[in-house]
Amino acid sequence: MRVRSTTTLTVLSALSLSALSLTAAPALAAPAAPAASTAWGDNVTAAGGFVGMSPTRVLDTREAYNVPNGMVRPLAAQEYYTTPLVAFSSHMPPTTYPVVPADTTAVVINVTATNPTANGYLSLSAAPGAPGSSPAASSLNFAPGQTVSNLVTVAVTPGTRPTITVFNSAGTTDVVLDVVGFYRPAATDRHTALTPTRLADSRTDGTGPLGWGSVRTIQVAKPELGTADAHAVVLNVTATDPTMNSFLTVYPDGPAGRPYQGSNVNFLAGRTVPNQVVVPVGANGTIDIYNHVGSVNVIVDLVGYYGPSGTSLFRALKTPVRTSDTRVTGSPLAAYSTEQVPAVASDGSTPDVTAVEANTTVTDVSSPGHLTVFPGGNTVPDTSTVNVDPGLTVANSATTGVAADGTYSIHNHGGPVDVITDLTGYFTTS
């Protein structure tokens, strides 16, 4: 069963993936707090390889067949909501089946909040915190009336039916969870981080905007990229210049076609919105991108892949760790500057780290711009990770390699901003 605990029993509003609000109120960033110690100790899972899958819905608080016992209601303020990773196989009577195996250590999940009633954030973790407490890290930020998504990698509480916990900070909001992959010790596909590389940009590559209900196919498995044997790829997909409120769905090209449920990037007319995407590769080395309504330009950046030639296994942090917060230091990331973020634990518990999974939140924005997350070095890639607008708090997941000194880099292409980073796990060769 799904377990709810709450310190404030408040009725929450509904969310919608296809009817998006035009609101632009500023979202609330997670509370400023000192960066956590980088000694992680027992806060890590066993190392696991990756298994990709088509988006599979495990929770939709709007729908009776996607919540336990048909008890439809949104999450309340300060509520910890624990949900098993199961999907419904029939509705009469309701029956479910596990989406991931019992030995799963972590899941990659697209989380969507819709029609929230207040500025707030969601935080995903393996288990709930103490009643009345708030997590130190955030996974997704929202403003009233928004529909917003983020890809999150989160450790699970193990069992016959593994579970995860979602915390809602304020107001009420519905939540949709779509699992797109998972880690387990028996899986053989390993990860390799790549220097971010732009694969497609419909504004400049001659393809033009993606139209209403149309699909674009992109080659992602290429020898020259080092992805010839990729079974899944890690992308940053950005929607820009949209004419209507809509969403993109990214999926493997092939006879199975577009999944019945699931979206990867939700956006409002006129807004630029990125989201990280992990997607299996079709048999011909391609993926498809579907646009629901209107027209939109689409930008696709490759940041990593999983396959037989991959080098690293993944260890998730059972409780995400805040590794940096410029609001605490009082030193916002200056215009067109780069900062290094620590990625390796100081206690020696994380040897041979090759890459990390981190959530990057940007707040106190004064002018439009974007941030690029990359392993480091003298050259900043011509790619983007988080796009920002004044007055908005925006988060996006980043999978990035690390430099020899155990850090990764964030470059700010715009005016001064505050940047918060929360580590959810790391890749290691040992």
For every residue of 239-306, DSSP letters joined together read EES-SSSEEEEEEE-STT-S-SS--SEEE-TT--EEEEEEEEPPTTSEEEEEE-SS-BEEEEEEEEEE
Render pLDDT for 406-422 as a digit per residue (tens, 0 to 9): 899 999 999 999 999 99
Nearest to 172 by CA among 117, 133, 114: 117
Render pLDDT for 7-37 as a digit per residue (tens, 0 to 9): 332 222 223 343 333 333 455 566 655 444 4
Query: With 0-12 CB in 10 A as exposed, 13-18 as middle and 19+ as buried, what is 37?
Result: exposed
Instruction: Decide which of 157 and 351 is more confident.
Output: 157
What pLDDT score was predicted for residue 156? 97
What pLDDT score was predicted for residue 348? 66
Euclidean distance between the first and the last CA atom of the chain, given in angstroms as a whole number: 36
3-state secondary structure of 225: helix
Sheet with 120-125: list strands edge to edge.
Answer: 3-6, 79-84, 163-168, 120-125, 140-142
pLDDT of residue 112 exceeding 90, the answer is yes
Cα separation of 344 and 341, whole Å?
Answer: 10
CA 316 to chain centre: 14
CA 132 to chain centre: 26
Cα separation of 59 and 62, whole Å?
Answer: 9
pLDDT of residue 385 exceeding 90, the answer is yes
CB 358 within 8 A of CB 341: yes
Instruction: Decide which of 83 and 69 is more confident.
Output: 83
- With cut-offs at 50, 70 and 90, classify the pLDDT of residue 1: very low
pLDDT of residue 205 exceeding 60, the answer is yes
- With cut-offs at 50, 70 and 90, classify the pLDDT of residue 326: very high
Common-topology check for domains 190-307 and 314-428 = yes
Render pLDDT for 357-380 as a digit per residue (tens, 0 to 9): 999 999 999 999 999 999 987 789
The chain-wide mean pLDDT, for the chain, equals 88
Nearest to 95 by CA among 161, 15, 164, 182: 161
pLDDT of residue 5 exceeding 90, the answer is no
- Token pair in block for residue 58: 């495990």
pLDDT of residue 250 exceeding 50, the answer is yes
Render pLDDT for 387-411 as a digit per residue (tens, 0 to 9): 999 988 999 999 999 998 889 999 9
What pLDDT score was predicted for residue 7? 36
Instruction: State mean pLDDT over 309-325.
Output: 94
pLDDT of residue 316 exceeding 80, the answer is yes
What pLDDT score was predicted for residue 16? 34
pTM for the full predicted model: 0.89
What pLDDT score was predicted for residue 31? 62
Task: Count CB atoms within 10 A of the CB of residue 65.
Answer: 15
CA 260 to chain centre: 20
Question: Domain extents for the chain?
Answer: 3-184, 190-307, 314-428
pLDDT of residue 107 exceeding 70, the answer is yes
Element (H, E) at 314: strand 313-325
Instruction: Select from 3.90.920, 2.20.110, 2.60.120, 1.10.3470 the CATH code of 314-428.
Output: 2.60.120
What pLDDT score was predicted for residue 21? 37
- Token pair in block for residue 213: 């209900």
What pLDDT score was predicted for residue 43? 85
> Tell me: domain 190-307, CATH 2.40.50, correct?
no
Element (H, E) at 110: strand 106-114
Query: Lowest-confidence range among 233-237, 265-269, 370-374?
Result: 265-269
Cα separation of 398 and 396, whole Å?
Answer: 6
What pLDDT score was predicted for residue 95? 80
What are φ and ψ of residue 225, in 5° steps? Answer: -95, -10
Render pLDDT for 281-295 as a digit per residue (tens, 0 to 9): 998 999 999 999 999
Instruction: Decide which of 25 and 322 is more confident.
Output: 322
Instruction: State mean pLDDT over 95-124.
Output: 94
